[in-house]
């Protein structure tokens, strides 16, 4: 059986280094906001080309703290793609802001810049873009809209570590880039972890204060903060993994190229465009008989996944919040999309077997 993901196997190359790092942290006796977190923040900022990076507890928290740090008036409208993972929407809702859905481009699965302006009202204050599946959004028109309408920009870069648009890395275009290091992400920890990137020293300091109970000077609280810190042990693991992130990305790009060349035209494949450096957190195809195809692949020994089966505006939790939006493109994607194995644990042979199985459907 070819698994969709095997995190044990994907992390196996790093076991010895992880053990050394864990022992060193254990012996140091310093577990919260120490050397590993500070070093990782610097190394990750350098990697993506941002001035600052602040480690937090998860990708969701990275989004929430980013939105809180912008101090938008309660009830402000925030534009967000309709086909994102629910976390992006939750961050907006939990910050007392109103999500306004914009449909994606059916070819790229990312927010359609041409559909943003019709959704902007006098209450719109920000756009949260999502670089879904590891492909950057088309940033030039989005940055232009932000400038013309005086909107803040947050990037959900949870799936796009190292992905770039016109040579610039995702997470560095907006006021904030929010990253997740959930174990399955391209840069994954061995537990929950996240980070916020920014080029603004004042905003960076705001995130540092918000993540640690709202104080700069211990026990003197300036703002209503959170406990959302990246911990030392995870930061140690992330420092090790970061050194191999280029290798992981190249591996995924190689597997994606095999799919691109090998899969028949019965399947709609991800687009490959000039100006976009994609990192394939997910390699999805679309097919009208997705359920049948997924079952057929299981009989051929191939496990797949679906990202995602239900649109946010169709979720039970979003009744009264999103259910008034009409999102036919999102629904089409959610109905037909299928994610193929593309982990660091998969070999080129594995992918050739997956291609063979798909083409025989």
Contacts with ligand PLP, residue ranges (CB under 6 A): 58-60, 84-85, 87-88, 130, 156, 158-159, 180, 182, 192, 194
Compare residues 103 and 156 and give the one whose CB is closer to ligand PLP: 156
Compare residues 104 and 350 and give the one whose CB is closer to ligand PLP: 104
Rounded to a whole number of angstroms, the minimum distance from the CB of residue 67 to ligand PLP is 13
Residue, CB closest to ligand PLP: 59
The Cα–Cα gap between 273 and 151 comes to 27
Rounded to a whole number of angstroms, the minimum distance from the CB of residue 187 to ligand PLP is 11
Compare residues 176 and 258 and give the one whose CB is closer to ligand PLP: 176
**78 Cβ neighbours under 8 A, 6+ residues apart:** 67, 72, 92, 97, 98, 99, 100, 124, 125, 126, 127, 128
CB 136 within 8 A of CB 170: yes
Rounded to a whole number of angstroms, the minimum distance from the CB of residue 59 to ligand PLP is 2
Compare residues 134 and 263 and give the one whose CB is closer to ligand PLP: 134
Rounded to a whole number of angstroms, the minimum distance from the CB of residue 62 to ligand PLP is 7
Compare residues 37 and 355 and give the one whose CB is closer to ligand PLP: 37
CB 136 within 8 A of CB 109: no
Residue 342 in 3-state DSSP?
coil
Q: Considering only CA atoms, which of 302, 287, 273 is closest in space to residue 165?
A: 273
Rounded to a whole number of angstroms, the minimum distance from the CB of residue 175 to ligand PLP is 17
Q: Considering only CA atoms, which of 233, 241, 181 is closest in space to residue 21?
A: 233
């Amino acid at each position: 059986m070819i698994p969709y993901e095997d995190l044990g196997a994907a992390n196996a190359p790093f076991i010895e280094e992880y053990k050394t790092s864990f022992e060193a942290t254990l012996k140091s006796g310093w577990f919260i906001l120490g050397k590993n977190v500070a070093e990782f923040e610097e190394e990750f900022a350098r990697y993506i080309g941002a001035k600052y990076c602040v480690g937090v507890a998860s990708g969701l928290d990275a989004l929430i703290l980013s939105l809180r740090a912008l101090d938008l008036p309660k009830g402000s409208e925030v534009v967000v793609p309709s086909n994102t993972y629910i976390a992006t929407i939750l961050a907006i809702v939990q910050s007392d802001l109103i999500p306004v859905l914009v449909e994606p481009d059916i070819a790229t699965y990312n927010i359609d810049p041409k559909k943003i302006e019709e959704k902007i009202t006098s209450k719109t204050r920000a756009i949260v873009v999502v670089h879904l599946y590891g492909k950057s959004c088309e940033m030039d028109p989005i940055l232009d809209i932000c400038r013309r309408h005086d909107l803040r920009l947050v990037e959900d870069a949870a799936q796009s570590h190292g992905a770039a648009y016109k040579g610039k890395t995702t997470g560095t275009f907006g006021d904030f880039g929010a990253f997740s290091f959930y174990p399955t992400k391209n840069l994954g920890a061995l537990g929950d972890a996240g980070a916020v990137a920014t080029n603004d020293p004042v905003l960076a300091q705001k995130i540092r204060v918000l993540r640690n109970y709202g104080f700069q000077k211990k026990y003197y609280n300036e703002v209503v903060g959170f406990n959302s810190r990246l911990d030392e042990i995870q930061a140690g693991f992330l420092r090790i993994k970061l050194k191999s992130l280029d290798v992981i990305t190249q591996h995924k790009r190689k597997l994606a190229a095999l799919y691109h060349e090998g899969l028949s035209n019965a399947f709609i494949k991800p687009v490959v465009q000039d100006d976009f450096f994609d990192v394939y957190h997910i390699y999805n195809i679309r097919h009208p008989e997705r359920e049948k195809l997924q079952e057929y692949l299981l009989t051929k020994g191939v496990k797949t996944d679906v990202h995602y089966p239900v649109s946010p505006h169709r979720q039970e939790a979003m009744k009264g919040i999103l259910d008034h939006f009409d999102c036919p493109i999102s629904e089409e994607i959610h109905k037909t999309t299928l994610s193929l194995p593309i982990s660091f644990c998969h070999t080129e042979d594995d992918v050739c077997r997956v291609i063979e199985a798909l083409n025989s459907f």
